[in-house]
């Protein structure tokens, strides 16, 4: 499968309008955002676990990164409530499940093999730091050789400078509405902007976004 696999093109998806597709495991469903491959794939998805559902034990041959959006995600290593950001590096293993049900935003097979950090951050217990423009606060989650990942909170009326995305940019709107000259992106919108794309972002009502930069191919 090749889904939104041309990284030179911008993609905007209202994930709340997408149907949930069945996975190989009962009670686990997906909304596929981009994908190169079949069941073992370079993939970005939303994944929903029904209460008492689980996934087979597996090894992350290309690494796994996820943010818990709703409920509590679990594996044999612990419980991860909404707001938890987790990185499982290449070669790590686990058996995921959810007792009460959950939704996660997950990226698979997108790790640099030299990036071996294993992280679990409950973002609700972390302090956001002042950003580079008035009205912005930032919680850095991870960075490695030009790639970075953060939560960014925009106060109402915040405007950021026009800028170029070296290595691309990926955004999932978690709260409120994020905007730029190309449109308005309410909660649940996923935006992927290619290498060297330019925009002038702002938020009239305020928002919270997950943002990842520097990870998309430059050619």
CA–CA separation, 87 and 108 (whole Å): 10
**CA separation, residue 22 to residues 19, 30, 50, 166 (Å):** 10, 6, 12, 35
- Which of 136, 163, 152 lies closest to 208, judged by CA? 152
CA–CA separation, 166 and 158 (whole Å): 22
Does the structural domain 127-213 have CATH classification 2.60.120.10?
yes
Domain ranges of the chain: 19-122, 127-213
Give me the pLDDT at residue 156, please.
98
Residue 30 exposure: Cα atoms within 13 Å on the Cβ side:
16
Does the structural domain 19-122 have CATH classification 2.60.120.10?
yes
Using a 10 angstrom Cβ sphere, with 0-12 exposed, 13-18 middle and 19 or more buried, the burial of residue 73 is: buried
The answer to whether 61 touches 40, Cβ cutoff 8 Å, is yes
CA–CA separation, 9 and 78 (whole Å): 38
Give me the pLDDT at residue 40, please.
79
Give me the pLDDT at residue 88, please.
95
The domains spanning 19-122 and 127-213 adopt the same CATH topology = yes
In order along its 219 residues, the chain shows pLDDT tens digits of 999 999 999 999 999 999 999 999 999 999 999 999 988 789 999 999 999 999 989 898 999 999 999 999 999 999 999 999 999 999 999 999 999 999 999 999 999 999 999 999 999 989 999 999 999 999 999 999 999 999 999 999 999 999 999 999 999 999 999 999 999 999 999 999 999 999 999 999 999 999 999 999 887
The answer to whether 84 touches 55, Cβ cutoff 8 Å, is no
The answer to whether 177 touches 215, Cβ cutoff 8 Å, is no
Tell me phi and psi for residue 123, to 5 degrees: -65, -20
- Which of 25, 13, 4 lies closest to 173, judged by CA? 13
């Amino acid at each position: 499968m090749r889904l939104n696999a041309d990284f030179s093109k911008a993609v905007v998806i209202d994930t709340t309008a997408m149907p949930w597709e069945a996975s190989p495991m009962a009670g686990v469903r997906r909304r596929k955002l981009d994908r190169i491959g079949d069941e073992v794939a370079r993939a970005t998805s939303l994944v929903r676990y029904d209460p008492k559902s689980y996934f087979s034990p597996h090894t992350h041959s290309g690494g796994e990164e996820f943010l818990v959006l709703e409920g509590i995600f679990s594996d044999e290593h612990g419980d991860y409530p909404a707001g938890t950001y987790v990185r499982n590096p290449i070669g790590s293993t686990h058996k995921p499940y959810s007792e009460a049900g959950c939704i996660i935003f997950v990226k698979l097979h997108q790790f640099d093999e030299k990036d071996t950090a294993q992280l679990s951050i409950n973002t609700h217990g972390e302090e956001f730091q002042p950003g580079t423009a008035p009205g912005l606060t930032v919680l850095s989650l991870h960075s490695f050789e030009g790639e970075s990942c953060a939560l960014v909170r925009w106060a109402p009326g915040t405007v950021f400078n026009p800028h170029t995305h070296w290595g691309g940019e990926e955004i999932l709107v978690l709260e409120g509405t994020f905007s730029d000259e190309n449109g308005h992106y309410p909660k649940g919108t996923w935006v992927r902007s290619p290498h060297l794309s330019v925009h002038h972002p702002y938020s009239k009502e305020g928002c919270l976004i997950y943002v990842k930069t520097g990870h998309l191919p430059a050619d």
